């Protein structure tokens, strides 16, 4: 009689916004114990140095405009690896459950009887603004924030009426539609906007303007993905803080 096959386990690990130092301790431990890792395009390759030499590394893409493994095939690959009794890490940029299709991968594993665990990561929806000195909430400016994907811009009429911060992921390609939709919904043309590219990495860059000027500025700067768009009065906070700091130094 053949010995029973060991039970496999799949871990969906959020790698954070870019800086490998922002990976959680639990995420690092999962990588150190992995037998196979499936990683995205936006994952910093230095994180792969954490896996054992014997660990199999499988690149699956997952970046807009680039060749990627179709989600259905990726789900099947995760299940197959888990059913072989392996310790599998699915390493995803940001957080697995914030526009990362992590819930679909969990569903596939559960349906196949493969044990799966989600290890949350720091979402770029919060980390990118923070890295640029922009809080998503600030007393007197914004009491909340909404996160949407630029792939499916909707409910702009409602969002434009709320005094909250709007954070848009994967929105560079649809920036013209986003801007025109918010203006048509009544958002002020003077509303501050920031586009933060490659947040938390040495290549980070922020393009700041207003709903009225951001399209021209983004074109001039040749803004590209990965980028996070922040819309709302909180975009002015770094300027406010710089002014307050300068005033404080002058008063000494």
Q: What is the set of active-site residues?
A: 40, 62, 170
**Beta bridge partner(s), residue 14:** 92
Query: Residue 169's closest CA among 113, 122, 124?
Result: 124
- Tallying the residues shown for the chain, one arrives at 252
Helices (H), 112-185: 124-131, 156-161, 175-184
H/E segment holding residue 244:
helix 237-251
Encoding tokens for residue 252?
């000494």
Starting from the edge strand earliest in sequence, which strands make up the sheet with 205-210, in order?
145-149, 165-169, 227-231, 192-197, 205-210
Q: What's the CA angle centered on 10, arms 9 and 11, to 5 degrees?
A: 125
List, as one string, the DSSP characters of 21-68: GGS-HHHHHHHHT-SEEEEETTS-GGGGGGS-TT-EEEEEE--TTS--
């Amino acid at each position: 009689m053949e010995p029973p096959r060991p039970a496999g386990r799949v871990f969906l690990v959020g790698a954070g916004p870019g800086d490998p130092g922002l990976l959680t301790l639990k995420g690092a431990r999962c990588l150190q114990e992995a037998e196979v890792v499936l990683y995205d395009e936006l994952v910093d390759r230095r994180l792969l140095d954490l896996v054992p030499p014997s660990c199999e590394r499988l690149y699956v893409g997952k970046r807009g405009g680039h060749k990627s493994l179709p989600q259905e095939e990726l789900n099947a690959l995760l299940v197959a690896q888990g059913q072989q009794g392996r310790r599998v890490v699915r390493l995803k940029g940001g957080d697995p459950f914030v526009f990362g299709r992590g819930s679909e991968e969990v569903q596939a594993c559960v349906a196949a009887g493969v044990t799966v665990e989600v290890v949350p990561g720091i979402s770029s929806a919060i980390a990118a603004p923070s890295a640029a000195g922009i809080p998503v909430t600030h007393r007197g400016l914004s009491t909340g924030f909404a996160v949407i994907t630029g792939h499916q811009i909707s409910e702009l009429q409602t969002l434009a009426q709320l005094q909250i911060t709007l954070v848009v992921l994967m929105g560079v390609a649809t920036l013209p539609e986003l801007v025109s939709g918010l203006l048509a919904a009544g958002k002020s043309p003077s509303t501050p906007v920031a586009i933060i590219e490659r947040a938390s990495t040495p290549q980070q860059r922020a393009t700041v303007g207003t709903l009225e000027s951001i399209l021209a500025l983004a074109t001039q700067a040749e803004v590209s993905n990965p980028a996070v768009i922040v819309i709302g009065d909180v975009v002015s906070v770094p300027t406010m803080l710089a002014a307050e700091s300068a005033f404080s130094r002058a008063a000494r």
